[in-house]
Structure 1
Amino acid sequence: MFSPIESRAFDASNAQHLFLIAYRAVLKEAHASLKAGIDSQANYLRAVEAGLFPRDEPSAPGVAAVEQMVAGYLVHQIKERYDQAFVAREWSRTRHATLYLNVPPGVAVNSFFSTDIWSEETDTPAMVSLNILPYRGQTLAVFSSLPEHSEQVEMAFDRIFSSREECQLHELSKLVLKKCENIVLAPALYDTFCRRQKEQITTYFERNVAGQSYEADDPQVFLFSAIRATSSSI
């Protein structure tokens, strides 16, 4: 399925290549979210059988299991749209916003998540794929979505799209740490980070796990290069 982007150089002007990196993120999230729903429900039913929760009354774990299954179904609905486009080889059924980042390769992301903005057109949260990958000696970021969600994607990430380079990379770093779990940092890049930068990156990621809303504008929350250390940072 993915040989066009795995066996030859990625081409950001190729509609099929752009579609496939987005589709790969959607498939990964579809599998992960549906499995999470199945596991949550199975664990809840085992707890009911063990007498830990009432069988015929609502409980917080039971509601959480249902919410997890609903989230998985929403992703599955979008996956079906991508499936149809893939079978028909209609690569233009998705919309893409590309950012050419003036930094060496060192960060890679392949993720699919909610923009946290509701789409009236689909009556669901608008969803987006984010891919960050090495590209021609530098780094490329690609935001991909269904056409019905492209307006919400622009609204949600306006600060990233419209900011100057340093601010853009800072905002993109925060988005990755807040929304993505499928992150790769090159060891050669990570080893240049000072102790404080590593701590701030880890803290920002941990405090946004499971949909939390921790925010920080610390410049050390930065993934794309080392931030100059102060005497207290080393």
Structure 2
Amino acid sequence: MTSFELWPAIDLKGGKAVRLLRGDMATAKTYADDPSAQAKSFAGKGFTNLHVVDLDGAFAGEPANAEAVKRILGATDARVQLGGGIRTLQTAEEWLKLGVARVILGTAAVKDPDFARRCIKAFPDQVVIGIDAKDGMVATEGWDDASTLSAAEVAGRFEGLGAAAIVYTDIQRDGALQGPNVEATKALAEATSIPVIASGGISSVGDLQALAATKAIRGSIIGKALYEGRFTPAEAIAGVRS
């Protein structure tokens, strides 16, 4: 079993690192004016992965914080996965050439699965499927749009094609510091052979340990809990190693 992966999050809005509550842009709270400095800090404290989301891009349907992303890539050797506004093969390829390790397809994976499949085929093991669910149903367009699809149905579209991972976000938990939806995430992880990374609700090292203890879930995104000092990077890393 691959060791449990930790992915500290850097969400970009207007060139700054922010956190939202349940995906609502009106709740944005700025934590770093310079996202590249935040990335460097995370890497310097032992994190080898970074989860970067262009929030403006997710709503616009095209990259909107490209300069901030490029500065992050230049500031650290950490493995970066990037989501938000990646809707064409050209955009995905450009980011991968610039040094992004993996691109995340969210809205595109739901609304244009044929494109997502072409992207996975073109860039095997470099495409992550972002599945964001509210009350069990997948949402798109920066979480503004609810679909009639379940998380398992979306995951099933990409089974056996070579996707690198699925990032599964429980929207109601995201940014709320109320604990992750372990059962729903575990159920999805057990329903697919694609590695599943949990997102939303982490509030303590115990939450990370609960996800890791399932053995089915590959890793976790960590956001507001880190920024709010609920635990340190060292405590998070040591917690999942134990």
Shared fold per TM-score greater than 0.5: no
Identify the structure with the greater strand proportion.
2
Q: Name which structure has the greater RCO, CA cutoff 8 Å, separation 6+.
A: 2
Which has the larger helix fraction?
1
TM-score normalised according to structure 2 size: 0.29
